C-alpha cells in the first residue's frame, strides 16, 4: 500500500468529500485523524469502519470558524507524536442560500473567511515544522471548480473571496516549502451533490447528469486525485490548482432577487 505508515489529518471528515477521502487514504494504509465539529456520531461510525484496514484512527473535535477550535485541533495534532505527514484542509463553511454581499451579517462574513481561509493557513503553519523535520509532507487545500480564474461569483462573494485568496496562498506556500520535500496543491471540486459526495464511481457509471456532460461526479473522483497527490512519486506536482468538475462550470451569474 502506497501510504503505509503515513499519518494524515482530514478536516471535516465525518461525512461528504472528507469521508470519501478518508476511505481512499485508509485503503492505501494511511493512519488517520478524523476531524469533526457537530457530526460526532458519524465520525465514530466512520472510525469503526476504517479500523478494518488495520490502521490507527483517531478522532478530533474543533470548530474551525473560531480561533479556539483551531487551537483545540492543533493540540490534538501535536499530541499525535508531534504531527502529521499529510494535511487535507477539506472543512469550510458554505451557505447554500444565495445572498448579495450586503445581505450578510458581519459575523457571517468573518466566519466564512475564518473557516475557509484562515483556518487552513493556521493549520498549515502548525504542521509544517513536523514535515520539515522529516523532509516530507503533503498539504492539500479545497477550493471550488475554476477558483484559479478568480472570476466574479455573485451571491457567493465572501466564500469565493476566501477560496481565491487560498489559491494564491497555495501557490506561494508551494514555492516556499518545495526545498523541504513538502508539496502544496489545491483541489477544485465541481458541483457534486448530496449523497454523491460519498458514492463510488461504480455507483454512477450508468447515470446521466442533466447539468453537465457525462455522468455525475462522486466523492471517489475527488478522493482519487488527492490520494495521487499524496504518493511518494508525486513530489514534482506542487503549486497546482486541479479542477475535478467533469467539464461543469459551477459559477452562475444569477443575481435575480425576489
C-alpha cell at 82: 508531534
Residue 253 has pLDDT above 70, yes or no: no
Residue 57 forms part of a structural domain: yes
Residue 181 forms part of a structural domain: yes
Residue 252 forms part of a structural domain: no
Residue 193 forms part of a structural domain: yes
Owning domain of residue 126: 7-244
pTM: 0.94
- Per-residue pLDDT of 221-236, as tens digits, reads 999 999 999 999 999 9
Cβ atoms within 10 Å, residue 236: 7
The number of distinct structural domains making up the chain is 1
Distance, in Å, from the CA atom of 221 to the CA atom of 145, rounded to the nearest integer, reads 13
CATH code, domain carrying 154: 3.40.50.720
Contact of 228 with 25, CB cutoff 8 Å: no
Q: What is the mean pLDDT of residues 98-115?
A: 94
Share of the chain above pLDDT 70, in %: 97
Residue 210 forms part of a structural domain: yes
Q: What is the mean pLDDT of residues 87-109?
A: 93
Residue 118 forms part of a structural domain: yes
Mean pLDDT across the chain? 94
Residue 170 forms part of a structural domain: yes
- pLDDT value, residue 258: 46
- pLDDT value, residue 208: 86
Amino acid at each position: 500500500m502506497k501510504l503505509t505508515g503515513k499519518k494524515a489529518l482530514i478536516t471535516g471528515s465525518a461525512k461528504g468529500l472528507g469521508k470519501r477521502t478518508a476511505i481512499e487514504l485508509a485503503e492505501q494504509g494511511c493512519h488517520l485523524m478524523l476531524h469533526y465539529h457537530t457530526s460526532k456520531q458519524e465520525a465514530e461510525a466512520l472510525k469503526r469502519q476504517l479500523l478494518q484496514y488495520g490502521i490507527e484512527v483517531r478522532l478530533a473535535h474543533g470548530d474551525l470558524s473560531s480561533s479556539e477550535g483551531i487551537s483545540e485541533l492543533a493540540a490534538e495534532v501535536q499530541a499525535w507524536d508531534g504531527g502529521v505527514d499529510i494535511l487535507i484542509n477539506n472543512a469550510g463553511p458554505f451557505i447554500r442560500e444565495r445572498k448579495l454581499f450586503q445581505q450578510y451579517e458581519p459575523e457571517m462574513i468573518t466566519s466564512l473567511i475564518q473557516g475557509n481561509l484562515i483556518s487552513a493557513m493556521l493549520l498549515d503553519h502548525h504542521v509544517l515544522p513536523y514535515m520539515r523535520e522529516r523532509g516530507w509532507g503533503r498539504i492539500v487545500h479545497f477550493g471550488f471548480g475554476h477558483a484559479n480564474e478568480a472570476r466574479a461569483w455573485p451571491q457567493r462573494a465572501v466564500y469565493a473571496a476566501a477560496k481565491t485568496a487560498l489559491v494564491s496562498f497555495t501557490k506561494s506556500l508551494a514555492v516556499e516549502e518545495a526545498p523541504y520535500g513538502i508539496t502544496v496543491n489545491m483541489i477544485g471540486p465541481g458541483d457534486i451533490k448530496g449523497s454523491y459526495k460519498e458514492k463510488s464511481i461504480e455507483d454512477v457509471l450508468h447515470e446521466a447528469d442533466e447539468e453537465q456532460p457525462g455522468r455525475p461526479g462522486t466523492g471517489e473522483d475527488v478522493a482519487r486525485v488527492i490520494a495521487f497527490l499524496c504518493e511518494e512519486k508525486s513530489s514534482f506536482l506542487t503549486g497546482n490548482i486541479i479542477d475535478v468538475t467533469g467539464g461543469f462550470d459551477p459559477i452562475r451569474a444569477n443575481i435575480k432577487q425576489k
